[in-house]
Structures are given as structure tokens and as C-alpha cells.
Amino acid sequence: MNIHTKVSRYSQEFDPPVRGDTITADRYTTKEWMDGEMKNLWPKVWHLGGLLAELEEPGDIIRHNFAKESVIMVKQEDDSIKAFYNSCPHRGNRLVLGEMASVPRIVCGYHNWTFDLDGTLAKVQDPDDFEGGTPCGKVHLSELRCETWGPFVFWCMDDDVAPLHEWLEPFPERLKGYGIENWVRVLNVSADADFNWKIIRDNFNESYHLPTIHPELATFINDGLPDTLFEMYPSGHNSMWMKGHQATTRVDYHTSEVPAPLGEAARAWGIDPEEYNGRTGDLREAIIEAKRRLGPGRGYTNYDNMSDQQLVDYFHCTLFPNLTLTMSPEQLQVLRTEPHPTDPEKCVFQHWCLYPPVEGMKEVFTPLGMLPLQHDAVARHSVYGDGVSVGYVADQDLSIGTSQQQGLNSRGFKGCILPGQEKRIQRFHELLNDYVKGASE
Ligand code: FES
Ligand SMILES: [Fe+2]
């Protein structure tokens, strides 16, 4: 058995130096930092706005509220998608008030100004009462950039940011084999939470917390440090490749009996786990072989384009600044925190799970248990702490958020002390400093 293959090769290639900036508490607690981010960070990045699947017909609209901002994405007559600020050019009223709409034209609820789907003002009350004649045909909704990747629609407020596919590098290429274009969002949950948005970003930028916050994952995900691959890309994004279908090497599972969750995964692919007692690390290879052999017959047509690693491992893609995509062959988790409109000590946490549309499959196993394989089988917004789950594992991550926020407010906290494996946190904050501080100085 060789469980140490391909560990450090990529990290040498994608391991930029860091400066060692102090990660102080004020970035998690103060209005100044929040305002700096609103001015210099959030306009300069692409934001995941929604799903292509929700924009089928001309006039279909999805709305994305982000902090104090609100953006609508509108399907056009020619099948393209345009994004507009959700603000009426007349006197600023918000145009679309629900999460979704399907309309022939966009109508403001205040004085009925009416816009064509391409944002052009088409109808107003008393058109002759304007100096210079009717504003119709001359006034437009304020437009922002809108591009798509895979099943997703993104928007961006800044004209100088790289085009979406370039900005996403290297993920469009790296994730190609999974074939996510037609995956179905089954889970769509979000929650208001009592901590700064970066608390959970930091959490997703390290795996140091796995043994304490998610101890049960160690039975089927190898979080052992020598077996985990970290990469930090020139784009500012990073990834963590963790071996799946293999117990952790932190604990000596490999010479003992196959732990139960791993045994279950083996049985699901027709493998008797008993045969692997004493050499549990070998199960991963056996499952790769079984998935290759049996997968397409079970409807997993996407397996053919995946690498061996993709077939069994977990690929955590952490995009700067606030989007995480966690890939396995049968599930894509989207995890994100967004700032609260006014309070730096609050945020909105979002969790989507998408699944491949395997023919004949009626249900899928999600972080909320078995759910029907259909769009938004569970879609809800809650308040974290009220006992409503945002998904197993994610609940565990969020459980430290409030107490960390409280601790960061202490005069005694002097800045983070990071081990080497948390270098992605260091880099994240240095990039953030460059955006927020660099731009304003
Ligand atoms: S504010 Fe929209 S029509 Fe007046
Ligand atoms: Fe976690």
C-alpha cells in the first residue's frame, strides 16, 4: 500500500510566499473594515448570483441581495442574460421584491415606470411632463456584468475585473471532468449568523479543525497532513485535495478493522470490507476500480471523464474571497458567507448542494438526509442558533462562529498565531489587505 502518492508535487508548484502580516481582530469587528470591504473588495470580484436552471424563459428573473446591494439577473429574448442593479432610475425604489419573478416587463411598484427586459424604459406616466420630451427609450436600468460558468450565473460590479472564466482559474479546467453543467440544486438553505463573514472563510481555509470539529469524518476522509494537498493559485483562489474512501492517517485505522462508514461505502460498490481488515488504505483503490466498472451501468455517465482521484476524493475549492465549492463525483457543495448590510459582527451563510441527474434516481443523500432529486427540494432561510439545520458538517463549522467572534472582541487577543498548514488563511488575509488597505492608501 502506498497512501503517500502525489502529496507535495502540486503544493511546490502553487506555494507562493506570504509576508506575515498580522491578522488583527479589527477586521472582524469594526465598521471601518466593513466599509473598506464594501468600497474596495466586493465591487472587484465576481459574485455567484444564481442558477442558469432558474432562467429558462425570457422574463425569468432571479434576485440576489448582497449586503445593502441588490442585483437582478434577467433572461433576455435572445436567450442571453443581463444583470441590473435592482433600483429604479426614477427615484430609486427597488424594482423586484421577491427571490424570483417571471414577467413580460419589469415594472416599478411606486409610479409604474415600465422597462423592457433589456433594461430600456418603455412606459411612464405623463411622458410629456419631462423636459426634453419622454424619457422612454433614453433611460436604462443600470447594468452590470453578467457571465456564466457550468450551472451558475455570476455578476460583477467592476468593468476592469478579468472575464469570469479567467477569474475562476484554474477551476473551469480542473473541474471539467465532473460535468457539473446539468447538475440539480436539491438543497438551498441559508441562515443569518452572529459572526463576521470571514470567520467561516478562515474555517474553510484550513483543515486543522477537522479532528476536533468533525471527528467522525476521519473514518472515511483522510485528513492526515502528509496525505492532504494544498495549492494556492496566482488567481488568489486555493484548493485542498483530501483523499476520500480512506480513513485518516492521524489514527492507526489502516492496520485495524475497516471503520463502519468506510465499510458501508465499500459495500455500496459490491466490495466486502472484511477482506480489507488490516489494510484499510487499500480500499480506496478497490473502490476506484469498482466505480470505473459499475458506475456507467448505474447511470453515472460522468465517471468516464473523471480522473481516479476525482472518482473517490474530496476537492475543496476555496475561491477568493468568499465562495467554496466542495467537489465529489456525486455532490457539489456551494458554501458561502456574505456580509450583513450594516453589522460587521453578522453575516449570511448559504449552503447549496447540487447532484448529477442520474437516470432513474429518485432520491439523493444530502447533508439534510435523503431528499428527492429535484430542484430546491429543501429551500429555506433561518436564523443560526434557532435549531434549524443548514446541513450536517456545516452546522458543526458554524457552531464555533459565535464564540470565536466573542473571543475576537477581547482586548487580550493580539492577532492570530498560525501553524504552517494554515498558510491559506495567511494568504487570504494578505490578499484582503491588498484590496482593502492597499487601494485606500
Ligand atoms: S421610483 Fe420607480 S417609478 Fe418612481
Ligand atoms: Fe469544517
- The answer to whether residues 135 and 51 touch, using CB atoms and an 8 Å cutoff, is no
- The answer to whether residues 335 and 350 touch, using CB atoms and an 8 Å cutoff, is yes
For ligand 1, say whether the CB of 108 is within 6 Å of any of its atoms: yes
Instruction: Provide the 10 A C-beta neighbour count for residue 203.
Output: 22
Pairwise pLDDT comparison (421 vs 292), residue with the higher score: 292
Q: How far is the CA of 301 from the centre of ligand 2 (A)?
A: 30
Cα–Cα distance for residue pair 288/311, rounded to 1 Å: 6
When the pLDDT of each residue in the chain is averaged and rounded to a whole number, the result is 94
Mean pLDDT of 192-196: 97
Q: Which residues contact 430 (CB under 8 A, 6 or more apart)?
A: 18, 19, 21
Cα–Cα distance for residue pair 123/288, rounded to 1 Å: 61
Instruction: Provide the 10 A C-beta neighbour count for residue 399.
Output: 12
Residue ID of nearest Cα to ligand 1 atom 4: 111
- Fold type of domain 9-43+171-438: Naphthalene 1,2-dioxygenase Alpha Subunit; Chain A, domain 1 (3.90.380)
296: preceding bond cis by omega (within 30 degrees): no
- The answer to whether residues 337 and 322 touch, using CB atoms and an 8 Å cutoff, is yes
In tens, the pLDDT along 254-281 reads: 788 999 999 999 999 999 999 999 999 9
Q: State the cell numbers at 73.
A: 439577473
How far from the centroid of its chain's Cα atoms is residue 173's Cα? 17
Q: How many CA atoms lie within 13 A of 251 on its CB side?
A: 19
- Fold type of domain 47-160: Rieske Iron-sulfur Protein (2.102.10)
pLDDT exceeds cutoff 90 at 7: no
pLDDT at 6: 40
Q: How far is the CA of 136 from the centre of ligand 1 (A)?
A: 13
Q: State the cell numbers at 359.
A: 437516470
For ligand 1, say whether the CB of 90 is within 6 Å of any of its atoms: yes
Cα–Cα distance for residue pair 419/425, rounded to 1 Å: 10
Cα–Cα distance for residue pair 280/252, rounded to 1 Å: 10
How far from the centroid of its chain's Cα atoms is residue 278's Cα? 38
Which atom in ligand 1 lies closest to the alpha carbon of residue 91? 1
Cα–Cα distance for residue pair 414/25, rounded to 1 Å: 8
Q: Which of the ligands is closest to the CA of residue 210?
A: 2
Q: Which of the ligands is closest to the CA of residue 106?
A: 1
pLDDT exceeds cutoff 70 at 3: no
Which atom in ligand 1 lies closest to the alpha carbon of residue 88? 2
For ligand 1, say whether the CB of 365 is within 6 Å of any of its atoms: no
Q: How far is the CA of 339 from the centre of ligand 1 (A)?
A: 28
Mean pLDDT of 299-315: 95
Q: What angle do CA 60, 64, 65 make, to 5 degrees?
A: 140
For ligand 1, say whether the CB of 91 is within 6 Å of any of its atoms: yes
Helix or strand or coil: residue 370? strand
Helix or strand or coil: residue 151? coil
pLDDT at 439: 61
- Using pLDDT thresholds of 50, 70 and 90, give the confidence band for residue 225: confident
Cα–Cα distance for residue pair 350/333, rounded to 1 Å: 10
Containing 190, the helix (H) or strand (E) segment is strand 184-193
Give the largest Cα separation in the chain, rounded: 85
Q: How far apart are the first and last CA of the chain?
A: 54
Q: Which residues contact 160 (CB under 8 A, 6 or more apart)?
A: none
pLDDT exceeds cutoff 90 at 440: no
To the nearest 10 degrees (0 to 180), the angle between helices 401-408 and 197-204 is: 110
For ligand 1, say whether the CB of 111 is within 6 Å of any of its atoms: yes
- pLDDT above 70 covers a percentage of the chain that reads 97
Instruction: Provide the 10 A C-beta neighbour count for residue 80.
Output: 12
| Residue spans in the chain of domains classed CATH 3.90.380.10 | 9-43+171-438
CA distances from 222 to 4, 211, 287, 316 (A): 11, 11, 15, 13
Mean pLDDT of 300-308: 94
pLDDT exceeds cutoff 90 at 8: no
Cα–Cα distance for residue pair 41/320, rounded to 1 Å: 10
In tens, the pLDDT along 314-357 reads: 999 999 999 999 999 999 999 999 999 999 999 999 999 999 99
Mean pLDDT of 96-113: 97
DSSP3 helix / strand / coil % (the chain, rounded to 5): 30, 25, 45
| Residue spans in the chain of domains classed CATH 2.102.10.10 | 47-160
Q: State the cell numbers at 413.
A: 487577543
Cα–Cα distance for residue pair 116/60, rounded to 1 Å: 13
Residue closest to 430 by CA, chosen among 8, 24, 14: 24
- List phi, psi (to 5°) of 385: 105, -15
pLDDT at 40: 97
Cα–Cα distance for residue pair 388/104, rounded to 1 Å: 37
Mean pLDDT of 194-200: 98
Q: How far is the CA of 87 from the centre of ligand 1 (A)?
A: 9
Q: Which of the ligands is closest to the CA of residue 108?
A: 1
In tens, the pLDDT along 132-174 reads: 999 999 999 999 999 999 999 999 999 999 999 999 999 999 9
User: What's at 267, amino acid-wise?
Assistant: R
Q: How far is the CA of 210 from the centre of ligand 2 (A)?
A: 6
Q: How many residues does the chain have?
A: 441
CA distances from 11 to 169, 241, 317 (A): 16, 10, 14
CA distances from 340 to 65, 77, 229, 398, 414 (A): 10, 34, 33, 16, 25
Cα–Cα distance for residue pair 11/323, rounded to 1 Å: 21
pLDDT exceeds cutoff 90 at 251: no
